[in-house]
Amino acid sequence: MKYLEVCTENREETHVLGEKLGRAARENMVFLLEGDLGAGKTTLTQGIARGLGIRRNVTSPTFTILKVYQGRMPLYHIDAYRLEGMVQDLGFEELMEDDGLTVIEWSQFVSWLIPDEYLRVTITLLEDDRRRFVMEANGTQYEELLEEIA
């Protein structure tokens, strides 16, 4: 399955979708989350963290670009928004040594971290609290992941 589209009606439903993604995630996977400010990228990541068995709350602090959370595997949560226009490699790879799941918001600002294969989740704001999530698998293991959560 190359594409999967899911709409959620509220924050909690987005947490449930994220939880499914987190449960199905395999080591060394990369999820790219696309969408405007307030689309729900961090909210989805909170669900993903839950699905990885992480108890700490996932937040978007003002100055932290990379946060590491420990669950059944590490979650590397990157919010690159504040890196817009910077081109240097910040040496994140050294902080991401263990096999884990990498979730990136605003991945266009950390293009050097994007591997050949990944899951792209594009989030669109609909009316009220509705959000559309279009998940695009780039690579066989991500196609299998979509089949698992569909």
Ligand X SMILES: Nc1ncnc2c1ncn2[C@@H]1O[C@H](COP(=O)(O)OP(=O)(O)OP(=O)(O)O)[C@@H](O)[C@H]1O
- Binding interface with ligand X (CB under 6 A): 8, 10-11, 13-14, 35, 37-43, 60, 79, 105, 129, 131
Of 20 and 143, which CB lies nearer to ligand X in the complex structure?
Answer: 20
Structure tokens at 17: 């979708």
Strand order in 66-70's β-sheet? 3-8, 131-138, 118-125, 30-34, 101-105, 74-79, 66-70
Q: To the nearest whole angstrom, how small is the minimum distance from the Cβ of residue 75 to ligand X? A: 15
Q: Does 28 bind Mg ion (CB under 5 A)?
A: no
131, containing H or E segment: strand 131-138
Nearer to ligand X, 106 or 118 (CB): 106
- Residue 145's nearest CA partner among 13, 25, 45 is 25
| Site membership for Mg ion, residue 60 (CB under 5 A) | yes
42 is a site residue for Mg ion (CB under 5 A): yes
Positions touching Mg ion (CB under 5 A) are 41-42, 60, 105
